[in-house]
Amino acid sequence: GENVEQHPSTLSVQEGDSAVIKCTYSDSASNYFPWYKQELGKGPQLIIDIRSNVGEKKDQRIAVTLNKTAKHFSLHITETQPEDSAVYFCAASNFGNEKLTFGTGTRLTIIP
Amino acid sequence: DTAVSQTPKYLVTQMGNDKSIKCEQNLGHDTMYWYKQDSKKFLKIMFSYNNKELIINETVPNRFSPKSPDKAHLNLHINSLELGDSAVYFCASSKRLASGTSSYNEQFFGPGTRLTVL
């Protein structure tokens, strides 16, 4: 089955700086890669996703890149703000398969 | 107007007891899930139902039994609770796309139920 590794497990950045979280996956059949943000005491919420037919996707301050050859994808947050502090999860799946395999999470702390 | 709701939010119980967690979604989705998040925040799928039929059943002790009375509800019953069952349990839902489509739908998560077994 699919295995997703995520690094780093914790990340602290100064407000205004950029944050990068990286994930690798094992199953070459995976073609859907969402990123979820989990705030304290809440359930995970989708913030951005990317499909295997594109290499990069951007939504305001958030961007995701995908390298299918190397089987890794990354989340980039620019101009970080205190409200970006949360746990971020990457995940992988393939079309038609409802099963999402999650990474181990990254606790991001934005230092004011 | 909550999209995916779970009850209770907190559940504290003794070892050996039987307990249930309820989940309801009002999004019109046809697929629902149960996830377990342990103390290290690791999120792992347990079960998935589509139109009341079980489609994903990971390696979960048979003390855990999901029940889907209709498409909008997926409850989780746990028998003979053990200390290791302490975790946060999340319900989620999504809409399965027609076969042949090349897309994937977002999973919407509930707020979680924190289960503590003493």
d(C-alpha A74, C-alpha A33), whole Å: 10
Distance of CA A82 to CAs A43, A73, A77, A111, B16, Å?
19, 24, 12, 7, 43
Q: Which residue of B has its CA nearest to A86?
A: B41
Count of residues in chain B: 118
Q: Check residue B1 and give its pLDDT.
A: 64
What's the number of CA atoms in the CB half-sphere (13 Å) around residue B61?
10
Could you tell me which of B77, B75, B74 has the C-alpha nearest to residue B62? B77
CB B3 within 8 A of CB B26: yes
pLDDT tens across A41-57, in order?
999 999 999 988 889 99
- Residues 3 to 62 of B: which have CB under 8 A from any A CB? 4, 31, 33, 40-45, 48, 50, 55-56
Q: Which residue of B has its CA nearest to A102?
A: B43
pLDDT tens across B39-95, in order?
888 999 999 888 888 888 887 899 999 999 998 999 999 999 999 999 999 999 988
Flag if A42 and B112 touch (Cβ within 8 Å).
yes
